[in-house]
Amino acid sequence: MTTYRERSTKSTSLTDAPGKTGSAGKYTLAEVLEILAGGRLPLRFTAYDGSSTGPTDASFGLDLRTPRGTSYLATGRGDLGFARAYIAGDLDIRGVHPGDPYELLKALADSLVFARPPARMMVDMIRSIGARHLRPIAPPPEEAQPRWRRITGGLRHSKTRDAEAIHHHYDVSNTFYEWVLGPSMTYTCACYPRGSASLEEAQDNKYRLVLEKLRLKPGDRLLDVGCGWGGMVRYAARRGVRATGVTLSTEQAGWAQRAIADEGLGNLAEVRYADYRDVTETGYDAVSSIGLLEHIGVRNYPSYFGFLQSRLRPGGLLLNHAITWPENHKPPQPRGFIDRYVFPDGELTGSGRIISEAQDAGLEVLHEENLRQHYALTLRDWCANLVEHWDEAVAEVGLPTAKVWGLYMAGSRLGFENNGIQLHQVLMARPDKPGSAGELPLRPWWTP
């Protein structure tokens, strides 16, 4: 099949290009894509209208199979249209495994830059696509409602709406998470002691790092908010710490409670199905928040940090571990694919905003570090697990959901590698008296 670019070798610009496949001003789907990409396609593209473009020997490819896929691509902003078409089965990928499409996404990110063509050419492209494909259609059933429609579930970050958002993401299937996360059942950034370390070593090392930063010792009391499947709670309890975890996921709470019983840790460890705001006990020696802040909402940071501080004894330590933007001016609400398919109502901000809010709440910030590169490695290993268990995962949760996870994790890996997102741990203390955070060593007391 001859492509638009091959027929237009004499053209010096997009306005000079003939763009004819039949009637004047009529473009094929492949030609539309090539025009938008300025002829710079790092992969092979084929479409159901018989057209194709891109290098014939490309390592990767995209196959647009149906008119519905055209509607998704034409009406979805940013990455949402691509995600809809792919998840619905209207757009196929070639050259990568659906459990880890990282290399294809990297090729697109490195090479594909869309440009707006001249107005006359844009009119011809719209006419070629067809007006019917420019009207939004129902998204795949895996997609959450847009934010404006979620008001029926309560105000954003109310307890009821937060519970629904957590349910959407975490109550997929414990069996599915066991395959993806591995034996640790830890769905947060690991900390790799060396490049060759396994995922399990890195997750164990992350928990070790948190425990040491919080200076926890046998007999101390730890509150872990947003505790997931109880990994931090059980790690601390094995070392004699009395640990309480809370999660808004019923699936996570049930799994964690069984794991605590199986390990015989019931005298030291507890995981509750509850909102962190419902914890009534105070006087904890330490609080860990590992992957919860992303669900809190930036406007709620003052009450969040104020509440966690109120659970601590004077001189107690708090560690906040959260995904962030690399700067502090970007709007907090992720949109597109992440908001609709992964983290409904999730919000990110920069580490500077987090530190400022913690300080304004009366906490003393002692230390912070960026584990961005570690999260890229973590996501690499999660994708490898999904690939290994792909057939079982598809049987457990269905092909569309499995594709969501492969796309989400591979894309997030790319984001961490490119510094589009970061992961910061911030250690802070509740002052035990004005001007003092307690008897702490002069220098960091933990092993990096």
Tell me the backbone φ, ψ of residue 223, rounded to 5 degrees: -110, 120
In the chain the domains, ranked by start, together with CATH numbers, are 4-134 (no CATH), 159-429 (3.40.50.150)
What does the pLDDT look like over 113-143, one tens digit per residue? 888 888 889 899 989 998 888 898 999 988 8
Query: What pLDDT score was predicted for residue 13?
Result: 38
List Cα–Cα distances, 142 to 132, 241, 338, in angstroms.
Answer: 24, 40, 12
Determine contact, residues 354/320, Cβ cutoff 8 Å.
yes
Query: What pLDDT score was predicted for residue 218?
Result: 98
How far is it, in rounded angstroms, from Cα 384 to Cα 392?
14
- Tell how far CA 35 is from the center of its chain: 31
Query: What pLDDT score was predicted for residue 14?
Result: 39
Query: What pLDDT score was predicted for residue 345?
Result: 82
Query: What pLDDT score was predicted for residue 78?
Result: 83
Determine contact, residues 124/25, Cβ cutoff 8 Å.
yes
Q: Which residues of the chain, if any, have pLDDT below 70? A: 1-25, 147-171, 334, 434-438
How far is it, in rounded angstroms, from Cα 178 to Cα 162?
24
How far is it, in rounded angstroms, from Cα 60 to Cα 93?
7
How far is it, in rounded angstroms, from Cα 170 to Cα 248?
9
Query: What pLDDT score was predicted for residue 314?
Result: 95
Which residue in 85, 225, 231, 224 sits closest to 166, CA to CA?
225
Query: What pLDDT score was predicted for residue 119?
Result: 86
Task: Give 117-148 as a 3 state SS string.
Answer: CCHHHHHHHHHHHCHHHHCCCCCCCCCCCCHH
Name the one residue in this structure whose structure tokens are 């250690």: 427
Dihedral sign (CA 178, 168, 354, 157): negative
Query: What pLDDT score was predicted for residue 224?
Result: 98
Task: Decide: pTM greater than 0.85.
Answer: yes
How far is it, in rounded angstroms, from Cα 179 to Cα 402?
12
Q: Which amino acid is at 155?
A: L
CA geometry: angle 51, 54, 57, nearest 5 deg: 115
